[in-house]
Amino acid sequence: MESSRPAVLTASKSIGPISPPGETGSRIESTRGARANERTVVAARGVAGVLCFLALWEVVARYDLLPRDVLPPASTTLVHAAQLLGDRSFLGQIGSTLWAALLGYVLALAIAVPAGLVLGLSDRLHAATATVVELIRPLPPVGLVPLLVLVVGQGIEMKAAVVALGCVWPLLINTIHGVHSTDGTAKATARSFGWSRGTVAIRVVWPSAVPSVLTGVRITVSVALILCVGAEFIGGSRDGLGSWLLQQSMLPGGIDTVCAGVVVAGALGLLVNGAVTALERRFAAWAHREDS
């Protein structure tokens, strides 16, 4: 059973170290209980990995393999991170970052998914827009920060715009890919029901594309957080996790606080990733089936 899923394991590892893989290998003979059991094993391995990592960190810091003022020990950092979670002003900064990221992300989804459906269904429109898309797509969103600051200022609009610019393309491309991968016979079957092209698009093409759209979501949600923090750094925002980290790093002994902040940010990414995995399990389990 293990041998049939290495690709999935690597894919999810690259995103979050202890994220359980999506529902793969749901074999006919395996019951719900067996599958849950399998998940527990995977989760246990993830936890073991984290513990090893923390132990290594602790050793490296305690024995001064790296200078103490660059890397505080894991134990100190974790305690510090826990304290931060009780700190109202810190939570406010996190909230500000999350809010901006969410706004930008919703914007990206609202543009990419409908556009991806239309471009996926119409070869002509796809051909007409492909070059423009390929021209804009490689622009690094963080590189656009100075321009955006001039246009919309240093506030939430700028952060949301950076997030949207960074997330819209992978979402668009995954949506188009999902639409294109709809089976021809499935579409012919739906048309043979006497359905119009629009009905076929809603009832067959969209559900077929959902797993691919969710793959796009999985790739981009963590990117959204990274971009938002990056935009706060570079754009000189007044609030948000990025500007908070920047301020803390300038204080004496601030590196401990920065490390704790980074740990909290990482945990946040993990939570978001878990939410996406749950979504995939709910809406795209069928795409990971093993045909009999």
Partner 1 sequence: MTTTLLEVDDLRHTYRTRQGDQTVLDGINFDVQRGEFVSIVGPSGCGKTTLLRTLSGLLRPTGGTITLSGNVITGVPKGLAMVFQDYRASLFPWRRVGANVEFPLLGRVSKAERRARTLESLSAVGLADAADKYAWQLSGGMQQRVAIARALAMRPELLLMDEPFASVDAQTRSDLEDLLLRVREQFDMTILFVTHDVDESVYLSTRVLSLSKAPTVKTADVPVPLTFPRDQIHTRENPSFVETRSEVARLIRQASPGGLAAAAGAH
Residues near partner 1 (CB under 8 A) are 28, 183-186, 188-189, 191-194, 203-204, 207-208, 210, 286-287, 289-292
Q: Which is nearer to partner 1, 9 or 210 (CB)?
A: 210
**Least Cβ distance, residue 120 to partner 1 (angstroms):** 18
Q: Which is nearer to partner 1, 233 or 283 (CB)?
A: 283
**Least Cβ distance, residue 183 to partner 1 (angstroms):** 4
Q: Which is nearer to partner 1, 186 or 234 (CB)?
A: 186
Q: Which is nearer to partner 1, 134 or 183 (CB)?
A: 183
**Least Cβ distance, residue 31 to partner 1 (angstroms):** 12
Rg (CA), the chain: 22
**Least Cβ distance, residue 208 to partner 1 (angstroms):** 8
Dist. CA 238–CA 148, nearest whole Å: 15
Pair of tokens at residue 216: 């796009």
In this structure, how many other beta carbons lie within 10 angstroms of the beta carbon of residue 44? 11
**Least Cβ distance, residue 109 to partner 1 (angstroms):** 20
Pair of tokens at residue 246: 């920047």
**Least Cβ distance, residue 118 to partner 1 (angstroms):** 22
**Is the distance from CB of 162 to CB of 231 less than 8 angstroms?**
yes
Burial of residue 215 (number of CB atoms within 10 Å: 0-12, 13-18, 19+): buried
| Sign of the alpha-carbon torsion through 233, 237, 239, 240 | negative
Q: Which is nearer to partner 1, 69 or 291 (CB)?
A: 291
**Is the distance from CB of 276 to CB of 11 less than 8 angstroms?**
no
Dist. CA 133–CA 195, nearest whole Å: 32
DSSP percent split of the chain into helix, strand, coil, nearest 5: 80, 0, 20
Dist. CA 217–CA 48, nearest whole Å: 27
Q: Which is nearer to partner 1, 199 or 249 (CB)?
A: 199
